[in-house]
Structure 1
């Protein structure tokens, strides 16, 4: 099996703030914008941010949020 690319989907409660974080702080390039989602370019893949997540004031347990996004990078400065 050959994969063309991979994708990560993140459902965010604070949608606009999440988009601003990946666009402005992490400086990911926007690939696509639709009504309720924004896709960002990743090397060999994409990160899709969609509306509809549920946030908490404290850290979620593994049962409440079993997924982790991890980016190993040399620097956040381009």
Structure 2
């Protein structure tokens, strides 16, 4: 059962707790960006670049983390 909680985090160079915090932070940022995108759908003059900027920042953060954790 322990492997279910530790295999993937270990594969990206994180402990279970570190992975939980990173994944939760990513999820929260995606959630907020998603709300901004939904508002933008109705009011297109608001949050014009919020969704795309959030995706680019999250991608950059993930790539930097991947490079930092490579052997």
Scaled by the length of structure 2, the TM-score of the pair is 0.29
Greater helix fraction, Structure 1 or Structure 2: 2
Greater Rg over alpha carbons, structure: 2
| Higher-strand-fraction structure | 1
Normalising by structure 1, what TM-score? 0.27
Higher RCO, Cα 8 Å, sep 6+: 1
